[in-house]
Structure formats: structure tokens, C-alpha cells
Structure 1
Amino acid sequence: MDDPALQSFWDDLRTTTQARIGLGRSGDALPTARVLEFRAAHAAARDAVHQPLDTGPLVDRVAEVGVGRPVVVTSRATDRGEYLRRPDLGRTPADLSAVPVTSADIGFVLADGLSPRAITDHAVPLLSALVAEFDGRFTLAPPVIATQARVALGDHIGAALGVRTVLVLIGERPGLSVADSVGVYLTHRPVPGRTDADRNCVSNIHPPDGLAYSVAARVVSGLVAGARQLGRSGVDLKDTSRADAIAGGPEVHVIESTAG
């Protein structure tokens, strides 16, 4: 891109997105710097998928949030390779005997998912933001940390906890722009066998470039309140925060029914 005006156009546009746009050319190929950036991003995404979640330090950090010391459970997937090859095993628990029985309104599951790095980076401050947003309006069960976990594992954990609503904070599938994004999946009245249509998801949480913790917590809080009023979550439960965006508040992005 030798045209200064065109170069300025792409430079300005790149400030609004993490997508790879306006990369330029070197002969018939990309410039070397852009090729190296791509390879680095691809390596980061692969590392995010395969790096195991270090639960020891995470347990201590979660305990400091003040809603109880978490227990650690795992799915039926015995290692990371089996987890990636057998998604079905990641949806069912190996043993939930350590999960306390409660009658709390809300349970939290911190699941490694496809990006354990995302949970390491963002789960604790996001959990803190959620607790602050709920502001004593709901009773909260002690958190559960789940490894080799898919979203549906939260249904088993929520049922074992005895909570009315379970929130699964899970590492989302890494891409070439973001390797540490978290999604919050909400299921009201969780029981094994719930389907994707029974859930709501607030996605793309990874400040400073993604959704901020406080904004995500506000949306989740509204969805929890709506689920309690409606008596269910999923496709019938709609996020209303876009109305606030139209009125001048922050715009958020909510996937209303999806699961991994």
C-alpha cells in the first residue's frame, strides 16, 4: 500500500477491530511482518487450547472473592487429548461427591473449556464483578472449578448444588484475534439433559479489547432476573440491554442460546 491516503484509511480502520484487514502485499504474498504476526497468533491459539488449567493458585484466588472456597471437579475426559477428541465426555462428570448441597439461588462454575488461559486471566475479576452486581439480592453457592469441561457439565454441577440458576464461566474457543475470551452461560433450573435452547450466553468477555467485566455482569444480572420471572432461560428469554444502548448506554453483544 504505497498510497498514503489508503494507508491512513486502513490504519484508522484497524483501530476499531482486532480482525486482520488491510495487511498489504509484498509481491504476490503478504509482507513478512504480517506472516509472522499470523504465525504468532496461531501459536497463541494452539497454546491456549492445550495449556492445562493450574487449579491450585486459582482456588486461592477464587476464595478471596468471598463466596466460599471452591471445590475442584473434572469431567469424564481423562486428559486434554481425550477432551478434544470426545466432547461428549466433557459434558458429564467423573465424580461430584465433593460438591456441597445447597439451596442457593445462584451457583458459579469456572470451567476451563477450550481456553484455560481465559479462565486464568479473567475468571476471578469477572466473578468479583458478578458478585458485586448481585449486591446481596441472591444467595450464592460456593463456586466450583471444573476441568476438561464443556458447557453442559454445568447442568450436572448445578443440579448437585441444588441451585435455581447456574452460571458457567468458560474459556471460549480461541481464534486468531483472541485467545483468552470468556463466555458466561446461564441455565435456569439446571438438570442433566438440558439443551442449547435452554441456555443464554454473554460472550466475548476479555477487557480491554472485549466486553468489560462490569458490563457483562450487568447483562447477566438482568438475564438472571428475567429467568426468575419467566421461570426458564433460553430462547424465550431476551436481553433488553440493547434498549439501553439505543438510549445512550453501552452496547453489548449477547448470544441468546448457544453452547459448546
Structure 2
Amino acid sequence: MSDEDFWAAMRRTTSSRIGLGRTGDTLALRDVLAFRAAHARARDAVHVPVDVDALVGDLEARGLGTPYVVRSRAGDRGEYLRRPDLGREPADLSGLPEVAEGEGADIGVVLADGLSGQALTDHAPAFVAALREALPSSLTWAPLVVATDARVALGDHVGARLRVGTLLVVVGERPGLSVPSSLGVYLTHRPRPGRRDSERNCVSNIHPPDGLDHGTAARTVAALVVGARQLGESGVRLKDTSGAAGAVPPPDPTSVI
């Protein structure tokens, strides 16, 4: 087998840049151009604002309802990137419904653009639809919320306002040179401002066909939701055993609190 044949076979198993050729003291022109194109796509994913109208339209078309839209305290995309702290706090939540103590839904979902608005429009509607199918039908849902220029902790404010039992923040992940469009899901049980990262669980790299597909991700998140509601907390004590060999079967969905 020639060197080129060897690397061609290896490249079919990964999106990483492996076995790159050389021209003199540098890479071949085709590899340099491919790298620059990937870098441009990653920069665009970070800087280009999420298309809220397109996202809302897709959610409505899938029968997921019309979401509320909120934004962070960051004045624009540039300030959001320079000031992570402003992305963790909402500018105004007065547009969300007021929910009385004890009347909140079981599940709340915040769709946050994070560092890739493209990931939100590419994957969030299909993932939320799959999640609806994967979660026990006995659980109630709060209205969806789209958050712009938002980081994960902003969801705690939304979850507390809506008094949801378990919050899922579906967020665009930091793009890489091979994946500009990938989602992460952060689960926080009994959300409130000030929750620590150790009190959350994360399912990441949701970007079919090369990453986690929507259905598998939804089933993993659903198992964590059921576990969190049985355990009464999320974070380091809550483990995902859904794909482990010989794992204990997931909790009975009919017994969630």
C-alpha cells in the first residue's frame, strides 16, 4: 500500500487533518486553502448573529410552539465576546410569563446561541423534537425560550423566573476547524442564579452525521433528566450510564418526581 492509499483510508475515519503533504518547506496549496476556509467558517460561526426569525419559524413548523425571545446584557456580538459576564445575565425577563410558586412546569428549555448561532439553527429544532419523543409524556413543559448573545448561566435566571423543575440549556458550542456547528446541552435541576458548573451535567458534540445524532443525544439527555428528578439534584453525583456495558438500567420513567 502506498503512503497516499494509507492516509486515504485513515482519513475516512476522522475529520482531523492527518497525513498532509508538503511542497518544499510548507504545506501543499490545497491544504493551506482548506485550512483557511475552515478557519473562516469557524470565525463566521462565532461572529454571525443567530437568525432568530428562521429559528422561530422552524420551531413552529415542527409543532413546538412559538418561543419567547430574550437577550443578555451584552449590547452587541462584539461586547458579548469581550465580556463573558454580560452573557450570563439577562437584560430583561419581564416579557416572560409570571409563574406562581408551585405551578412551574417540569421541564424548561432555553435555546442559547452561545458561540455558534449556526449550530442552533442547524440542530436545535430537530433535537428538541427528538427530546419531546424521548422524555416521559407525563412531564410538563414550559414554553421554549430563545436567548441571544447568551451563555449557559443565563438559563438559570430564565429557569427561576418560570419556576421549572429541570432546566435544559441547548447552546451553540465553541467551533473548531473541523466542526463549526455543534450543540451542547447543559442540565440543571432546580435552576437558580448562582448555580455552579459542578451542579450541571453536559451532553456535547451534537452535530450529525459526524457527531452525536439528535435521537441518541435526546435519549441520553432524557435519561439524565429522569435520573436528576429521582436523585433530586444534578451535577457530579448524577452519572450517565445509558451507554455503559453492564450498566444499571435507567430509572423507571413512571416514578419521576
Query: What's the TM-score once normalised by structure 2's chain length?
Result: 0.91
Residue among 72, 77, 80 paired with 1:75: 72
Report the Cα distance in structure 2 between the residues aligned to 1:22 and 1:135, rounded to whole angstroms.
47
Please give the residue correspondences for 1:204-215 in structure 2 after superposition, counting only pairs within 5 Å: 204-215=205-216
CA contact (8 A) 1:45 1:174 kept: yes
| Greater Cα shift, 14-23 or 61-70 | 61-70
Report the Cα distance in structure 2 between the residues aligned to 1:117 and 1:225, rounded to whole angstroms.
29
In structure 2, the partner of 1:91 is: 88
Identify unmatched segments of 5+ residues in structure 1: 248-260
In structure 2, the partner of 1:217 is: 218
Read off the aligned partner of 1:224 and give its amino acid letter.
Answer: V
State the 1:64 CA deviation: 3.2
Report the Cα distance in structure 1 between the residues aligned to 2:84 and 2:9, rounded to whole angstroms.
41
Read off the aligned partner of 1:68 and give its amino acid letter.
Answer: G
In structure 1, the partner of 2:241 is: 240
Residue among 21, 24, 28 paired with 1:27: 24
In structure 2, the partner of 1:162 is: 163
Residues 192-211 of structure 1: CA deviation (Å, up to 9, x unaligned): 00011011110000111110
State the 1:75 CA deviation: 0.4
CA contact (8 A) 2:54 2:121 kept: no
In structure 2, the partner of 1:171 is: 172
Residues 52-96 of structure 1: CA deviation (Å, up to 9, x unaligned): 111122222212333432010000001000000000000001001
Report the Cα distance in structure 1 between the residues aligned to 2:243 and 2:19, rounded to whole angstroms.
31
Read off the aligned partner of 2:172 and give its amino acid letter.
Answer: G
Q: Secondary structure at the match of 2:26?
A: coil
| Greater Cα shift, 193-202 or 50-59 | 50-59
Read off the aligned partner of 1:154 and give its amino acid letter.
Answer: G
In structure 2, the partner of 1:149 is: 150
Q: Does 1:116 align with 2:101?
A: no
Q: Secondary structure at the match of 2:178?
A: coil
Q: Say how many residue pairs are matched.
A: 243
Read off the aligned partner of 1:121 and give its amino acid letter.
Answer: D
Report the Cα distance in structure 2 between the residues aligned to 1:160 and 1:10, rounded to whole angstroms.
53
| Greater Cα shift, 57-66 or 225-234 | 57-66
Structure 1 vs Structure 2 CA RMSD: 1.4
Please give the residue correspondences for 1:25-64 in structure 2 after superposition, counting only pairs within 5 Å: 25-64=22-61
Please give the residue correspondences for 1:115-134 in structure 2 after superposition, counting only pairs within 5 Å: 115-134=116-135
Report the Cα distance in structure 1 between the residues aligned to 2:160 and 2:188, rounded to whole angstroms.
11
In structure 2, the partner of 1:16 is: 13
Q: How many percent identity over aligned positions?
A: 64
Q: Does 1:231 align with 2:232?
A: yes
Report the Cα distance in structure 1 between the residues aligned to 2:244 and 2:13, rounded to whole angstroms.
23
Read off the aligned partner of 1:89 and give its amino acid letter.
Answer: L
Please give the residue correspondences for 1:249-260 in structure 2 after superposition, counting only pairs within 5 Å: none
Q: Secondary structure at the match of 2:191?
A: coil
In structure 2, the partner of 1:188 is: 189
In structure 2, the partner of 1:254 is: none
CA contact (8 A) 1:165 1:187 kept: yes
